Amino acid sequence: MQNGPSTERTTAGGRPARVYVSRMPHLIRFLGLHMGIGVAIGVIIASVMIMSDLAGLKGLLIETREPFVAILLLYAFNALTFGSVAMGVAVMTMPYDGLCDMRDPNDDKDAGPLR
């Protein structure tokens, strides 16, 4: 089962080694990277909020019957918010040189409306 086209290379022992090239589109990789950065920032901020007892949050989590639900919601919504903000900032700050075509230039099968 291959992920994409392979290129043949040899290892130090002379055996052939296969290197698989990712077929994921450039825009999806771009958005995924920035989403991951935003999610990481959101998790860090939620952890700092709990550890610093911001607005008595730690005390509320300790006193409740089901703290795991509250912690899950806090982390999930912080991750969602900061991931979305990071993706939005990344898209809005992209350089614009006329027509913005993020498609793979090596994809000959893509005959979209801008080509």
Give the mean pLDDT of the chain. 81
Q: pLDDT category, 115, cuts 50, 70, 90? A: very low
- The model's pLDDT over 46-92, given as tens digits with 9 standing for 90+, comes to 999 999 999 999 999 999 999 999 999 999 999 999 999 999 999 98
- Does 12 fall in a domain? no
Domain that holds residue 36: 25-91
| pLDDT at residue 18, rounded to an integer | 62
Domain contains 36: yes
In a domain, 109, yes or no: no
List all residues 6 or more positions away from 53 whose beta carbon is below 8 Å from its beta carbon.
Answer: 59
Return the percent helix, strand and coil in the chain, to nearest 5: 55, 10, 35
pTM attached to this predicted model: 0.66
Q: How far apart are CA 38 and CA 48, in angstroms?
A: 15
pLDDT digits (tens, 9 = 90+) for 79-100: 999 999 999 999 988 876 555 5
Backbone dihedral angles phi then psi of residue 8, each to the nearest 5 degrees: -85, 130
The tokens of 80 are what?
A: 């969602």
Please give the tally of structural domains in the chain.
1
Q: Match 């086209």 to its residue by tokens.
A: 5
Q: Is residue 106 part of a domain?
A: no
In a domain, 108, yes or no: no
